[in-house]
Structure formats: structure tokens, C-alpha cells
Amino acid sequence: MQELRVRRFELTSGHLLLGGFLAACAIGATVIGAFPLQLSIATIFLFAGIHNFMEFRYFAARMPVRWGRSKLYYTAGIGGVAVLTAGYLTLYFANDNWLWGVDSWATGTSVWDTCFVIWLAAIFYLRGRQRPKSDWSWAFPVAFGLAALAWIVPQYWSLALVYIHPFIAMWFLDRQIRRTRPEWLRAYHWCLASIPVFLLGIWAALAGQPNLPEDTTLFWRITQHAGSDILPAISSRLLVATHVFLESIHYFVWILLIPLVDWKAIPWKLERVPLFVNKGGFPRLVIGAMAVSLLLVIVLWLGFAADYTRTRDLYFAFAIGHVLAEFPFLIKML
């Protein structure tokens, strides 16, 4: 009789990644679903600043000392970040802190969104030129289509960016795993596949729940940011919980998972930063920038402690800079 062979299960680091991710998401979805306002306040207070620092540290490790044939790409990428950030802040403060105002915000945001997608198309195209036998000019018709949507449904378009942004961190992690931990890729894709399941669980639990209270300026800001005025038929409890859940994964990826898969992103390992160690680099500038970034984290915590509502408004205004900065580095990894 032929002997039956039983495949032996071996616990790998990929299994640990999947198990840890599922456990964290299960706990997070449960607690966030029960206390969406409180968790919105707590997660931003604890992790917003430090995740920005970790992003900056990751980008610093990926910036080459000499741009070489990528000079035009980085010039367009970084220049676009600066110009679009300035335009956003001008629009934001000129319209009394934004928050989807139909009359004052719609036209300005449509113009900004149009510039944003055309800039994205330009850096996609420039990246394609650096790859052999690649033509990424398709990015321009896609950008023009998205720009049309920005004019037709400006509020829905802008709200969609709020919910899409957390997935950019997950895309970064996917690209990084492919480079440094390919054995984790299958497990990570299972992690990504689990996110819609947890979201469906949150939606099923909260769809019939009453709206969150808006009796304070802070609570109103939180619900508005999640889109309660744009989507009034949906419980604001569901919207806020969804946003906090996705943002929590976003923070989790930048603060913990990316340093796990790329040791260059560990803050104190400056010997892995080309701008710090390579000949012709700028070690003093790197140390200074790191020190300023850490100081800003502390200032942000102090600001939250002193006046959470005002600090939150200012944070989300200036945070557009780090959101925009993600795109040139992500597209460069494609």
C-alpha cells in the first residue's frame, strides 16, 4: 500500500505577519466600532506626528545623493509637492478651514484637484521614460478623466481622496516587501484581502446606528471630515469608524510594518541613509532635519494637549505636504 504523505505545517514569519495583522484588525475594528469619536481623537493624538516622522525617515533613505538621469523626475516631483502644498494652504485658510463648503470651496478645490492629477500624470510619464520599452503616456487621458470628475462631483471626488489615502501606505508596503521580504508577499496579500471583510463587519454593525453627536466643534469637525454632510443618508457613526479604521492601518504600516521589512527605515540607522554616509552627501543636513522632525512631533503633542481642536485643524491643513510627497517616491518604485 502506497504510504500517504502528510505535508507538515511549518510556522513561518509570513504566518506571524498574517496572524498579527488579523488580530490587530479584529481588535481595532471592535473597539473603533464601539467608540469611533474617542478612537479618532486618541489615534491622531498618539500616532499622527510620529507616523509623519517615520515617513520622512523612509523618504530620506530613498533619496539619492545625485539625481543623475532622474533629475527631471525629482525636480517635477518635489517642485509639484511645494507648489500644490502652497496652493492647498492658500485655499484652505482663505475659505475658513475648508470642510466641504459648497459655495466657497467647490470651484477652488476643482482647480486644485485638476492640477494635482495632471501633476501625477506628468511624474508617471517621466517615470515611464526611465523604464526600457515603456510608454506611460496613458496617464494623461486618465488624468483628464479624473479632472472631469473633479468638476462634475467636486465634493465626492475630494472625499474619495480622504478614504483612498490610507491605501497608499499599503501600496508602499507591497512594493517594499517585493524588494526586501518577498517571502512575505503571499501573506501580505491575504492581509489586504481581509480588510474588506473587516469593513463589511463595521458597516453591518453600524449601518442602522444613530448619528454621532455634533454638540462640540471637535465632534463636528470629525464627522464632517468623514463626509457626514456629503453622505447624509449614511450614519456618521459608520463613516467615522470606517475612516478611523483605515487611518489606523495607515499608521500601523508606517510606524511598525515598513521598518520591519526595510531596515533602512529604522530611525537610528543613519548609516543606511545615502545622504548621510555617501561621499558628497549632507550629513549635517540629515541630522538637522531629523532633529527638527522629532521636535515637530513633540510640538504637535503639546499642541494637542493644549488645544486639540485647533491643533487638529492645523495638522490636517499642513499634512497635505506629506500626502503629496508620498507620490513621487511611490511612483519611483514602480
The residue to which cell 510627497 is assigned? 325
Q: How many CB atoms lie within 10 A of CB 144?
A: 13
pLDDT (tens digit per residue) in 113-158 = 999 999 999 999 999 998 888 889 999 999 999 999 989 988 888 8
Residue 265 has pLDDT above 90, yes or no: no
Indicate whether 1 belongs to any domain.
Answer: no
Residue 1 is predicted with a pLDDT of 43
Predicted confidence band of residue 234 (pLDDT cuts 50, 70, 90) = very high
pLDDT score of 266? 85
- In angstroms, what CA-CA distances link 46 with 22, 204, 252, 300, 304? 22, 28, 12, 10, 10
In a domain, 160, yes or no: yes
Which band of pLDDT confidence, cut at 50, 70 and 90, is reported for residue 104? Answer: low
Least Cα distance to 304 among 36, 42, 41, 45 occurs for 45
- What is the C-alpha radius of gyration for the chain, rounded to an integer number of angstroms? 21
Asked if residue 2 belongs to a domain, the reply is no
pTM score, whole prediction: 0.91
| pLDDT value for 199 | 97
Residue with C-alpha cell 466657497? Answer: 104
Of the segments 16-30, 92-106, 256-270, which one has the largest average pLDDT value? 16-30
Cα-based distances in Å from 171 to 20, 185, 291, 292 = 19, 12, 28, 28
Residues in the chain: 334
Range of the domain at 309: 13-332
| DSSP alpha helix (H) spans, 95-233 | 102-130, 139-152, 154-180, 185-206, 217-225
pLDDT (0 to 100) of residue 101: 52
Is residue 6 assigned to a domain?
Answer: no
**Interacting residues of 171 by C-beta distance below 8 A, sequence separation 6+:** 330
Per the domain annotation, does 60 fall within a domain? yes
Residue 7 lies in a domain: no
The answer to whether residue 8 sits within a structural domain is no
Tally of domains in the chain: 1
What is the torsion angle, in degrees rounded to the nearest 10, for the CA atoms of residue 120, residue 316, residue 45 and residue 18? Answer: -20
Burial 91-125 (b: 16+ CB within 10 A, else e): bbeeeeebebbeeebbebbbbbbbbbbbbbbbbbb
Assess contact for 61 and 274: CB atoms under 8 A.
yes
User: Does a structural domain hold residue 4?
Assistant: no
